[in-house]
């Protein structure tokens, strides 16, 4: 079968339509045939009963068909006998003229209706239009005083027992009935074929209307490309079943458009971030080579280019980390980690930066262990604590709290700096997104820190969230707790 939804619909519709039309035609044919047979049987039985009733009023009829007078003197020898008709009794004359009601005076319908009355010894009392070689029934045991309908050759007959065990047979040739039913079957076949063709044509048109929305959806989807992601499927004129599919596709197109936009912005941001240190390196090299320099000047130039190279290396490493996270290949070595020790090391490491920024560090820690990658977890804590120091106000405080909630260990880092504007909060974990772009570049940030933190925490089965108000921001990292006694099984 052709792999086409429209053809499959048409095929099954045709099967159902053929079954219905053929079934109804056969049902109608047999109903009409049975009705005609019942009508004929009724006519035959009525004629047989009429003949039986008429025969019961007659005197016994001799085999020669004549009934002579029982009383009176015998005829004289000199006088010739009168004609039979003149000697026949009224019963005999009536018998000769006996015709079932509704039959033509000359007998039954010529070539169709006939009747015959046999005596018990198989001699014929009267026969009208009987077919040639029609024999009386072999045995009279199978019928009685009630007429019995039977088929013999092409004839349908009503047979019953008459008075004095006479056999009454009234029959009809069924050739005419067969011809009539054949013509009726032809009419049914032609009507059914016409109805079938009309139904198939209607089904083809209907299936085309059903498939039309699918074709529109396909055409709309084919027009959507990298340079045209804004077009959507119009769901106002689509049936509910296909409208649901169109809504799903529109949602997918929305996500695709968003993804393309993010990719384009990411490419632009990455190019911009990499171009800045490259420009620094290029300008320092050109400046150093413009004329002979002293050793101190060359040393200063190399230090500047080294810092630019470090920044570029940091960006590339961050991008590689995010690329591995996106592809699910962020290779983390998950092991039993002393979360408390990592936080204390990070606090100790960033204390000079906090003192330089006039930010007071304060902590409240519990002993906690988690299953995590030591280096990646330390990177998360350093990034969050570094942000809490750099984006704080002079004289502010960065508070680090390690606590337990049900089956999780929660790290909360709060700072007193200016809060994150509400318009920026939904983009805070996007790559290269900075709330204060100018300040971030002067502080060395590349806009990848929070995106990397989110990827690492989620890769370790945790969650990272934040809350921010006008003068306070808190980042929260929640990781599953490693409980004592199941450490070896985790």
449: its two tokens: 């820190």
Count of C-beta atoms within a 10 Å radius of residue 35: 10
Burial class (CB in 10 A: 0-12, 13-18, 19+), 147: buried
Shortest CA distance to 450 belongs to which of 428, 466, 427? Answer: 428
Shortest CA distance to 391 belongs to which of 413, 416, 423? Answer: 416
Helices (H), ranges, 56-88: 84-87
Q: Given this model, what pLDDT does residue 380 score?
A: 93
Q: Given this model, what pLDDT does residue 316 score?
A: 86
Q: Using a cut of 0.95, tell me whether the model's pTM lies above it.
A: no
Instruction: Write the DSSP symbol of residue 81.
Output: P
Q: For residue 182, what are the contacts with CB-CB under 8 A and spacing of at least 6?
A: none
375: its two tokens: 């280096």
Q: How far apart are CA 139 and CA 120, in angstroms?
A: 10
Q: Is residue 402 within 8 Å of 346, Cβ to Cβ?
A: no
Q: How far apart are CA 396 and CA 331, in angstroms?
A: 37
Instruction: Write the DSSP symbol of residue 225.
Output: B
**Longest pairwise C-alpha distance within the chain:** 187
Q: Given this model, what pLDDT does residue 216 score?
A: 82
Q: Given this model, what pLDDT does residue 409 score?
A: 93
Q: Given this model, what pLDDT does residue 490 score?
A: 32
Q: How far apart are CA 30 and CA 179, in angstroms?
A: 15
Shortest CA distance to 128 belongs to which of 161, 66, 172, 92? Answer: 172
Burial class (CB in 10 A: 0-12, 13-18, 19+), 436: middle
Write the CA distances from 77 to 63, 73, 86, integer angstroms: 25, 12, 18
Q: Given this model, what pLDDT does residue 362 score?
A: 94
Q: Is residue 474 within 8 Å of 413, Cβ to Cβ?
A: yes
Q: Is residue 482 within 8 Å of 490, Cβ to Cβ?
A: yes
> Is the CA virtual torsion 323, 325, 331, 333 positive or negative?
positive
pLDDT tens for the 490 residues of the chain, in order: 557 777 888 888 889 999 999 999 999 999 999 999 999 899 889 988 888 888 877 665 555 544 444 444 555 555 555 554 444 566 666 676 677 777 765 544 555 788 888 888 888 888 888 888 778 877 666 666 778 888 888 888 899 888 878 888 998 888 888 898 999 999 999 999 999 999 989 988 888 887 888 888 888 888 877 667 788 888 877 777 788 888 888 898 888 888 888 778 778 777 877 887 888 888 888 888 888 888 888 898 898 889 888 888 888 888 888 888 877 777 788 888 999 999 999 999 999 999 999 999 999 999 999 989 998 999 999 999 999 998 888 899 999 999 998 889 999 999 988 888 888 888 888 887 777 665 555 555 667 889 889 989 998 889 999 999 888 999 999 999 877 654 433 3
Q: How far apart are CA 428 and CA 443, in angstroms?
A: 17
């Amino acid at each position: 079968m052709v792999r086409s939804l429209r053809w499959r619909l048409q095929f099954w519709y045709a099967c159902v339509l053929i079954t219905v039309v053929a079934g109804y035609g056969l049902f109608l044919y047999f109903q009409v045939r049975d009705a005609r047979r019942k009508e004929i049987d009724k006519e035959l039985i009525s004629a047989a009963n009429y003949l039986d009733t008429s025969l019961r009023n007659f005197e016994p009829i001799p085999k020669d068909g004549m009934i002579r007078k029982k009383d009176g003197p015998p005829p004289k020898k000199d006088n010739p006998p009168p004609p039979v008709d003149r000697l026949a009794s009224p019963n005999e004359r009536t018998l000769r003229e006996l015709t079932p009601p509704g039959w033509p005076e000359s007998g039954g319908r010529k070539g169709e209706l006939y009747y015959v009355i046999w005596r018990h010894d198989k001699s014929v009392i009267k026969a009208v239009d009987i077919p040639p070689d029609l024999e009386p029934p072999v045995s009279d045991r199978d019928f009685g005083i009630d007429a019995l309908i039977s088929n013999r050759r092409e004839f349908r007959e009503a047979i019953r027992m008459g008075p004095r065990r006479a056999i009454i047979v009234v029959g009809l040739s069924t050739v005419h009935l067969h011809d009539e039913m054949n013509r009726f079957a032809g009419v049914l076949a032609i009507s059914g074929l016409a109805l079938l063709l009309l139904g198939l044509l209607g089904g083809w048109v209907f299936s085309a209307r059903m498939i039309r929305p699918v074709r529109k959806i396909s055409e709309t989807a084919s027009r959507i490309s990298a340079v045209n992601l804004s077009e959507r499927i119009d769901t106002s004129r689509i049936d509910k079943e296909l409208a649901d599919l169109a809504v799903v596709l529109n949602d997918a197109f929305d996500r695709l458009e968003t993804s393309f936009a993010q990719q384009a912005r990411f490419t632009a941001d990455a190019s911009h971030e990499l171009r800045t240190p490259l420009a620094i390196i290029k300008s320092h090299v050109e400046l150093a080579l413009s004329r002979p320099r002293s050793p101190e000047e060359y040393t200063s130039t190399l230090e500047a280019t080294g810092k630019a190279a470090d920044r570029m290396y940091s960006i590339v490493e961050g991008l590689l980390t995010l690329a591995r996270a996106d592809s699910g290949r962020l290779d983390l070595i998950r092991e039993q980690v002393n979360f408390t020790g990592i936080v204390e090391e990070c606090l100790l490491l960033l204390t000079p930066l906090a003192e330089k920024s006039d930010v007071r560090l304060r902590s409240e820690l519990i002993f906690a262990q988690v299953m995590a990658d030591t280096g990646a977890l330390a990177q998360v804590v350093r990034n969050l604590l570094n942000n809490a120091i750099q984006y704080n106000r002079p004289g502010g405080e960065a508070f680090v709290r390690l606590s337990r909630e049900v089956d999780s260990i929660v790290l909360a880092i709060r700072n007193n700096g200016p809060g994150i504007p509400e318009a920026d909060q939904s983009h805070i974990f996007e790559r290269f997104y900075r709330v204060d772009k100018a300040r971030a570049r002067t502080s060395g940030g590349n806009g990848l820190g929070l995106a990397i933190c989110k990827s690492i925490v989620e890769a370790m089965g945790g969650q990272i969230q934040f809350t921010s108000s006008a003068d306070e921001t808190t980042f929260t990292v929640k990781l599953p707790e490693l409980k004592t006694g199941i450490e070896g099984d985790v």
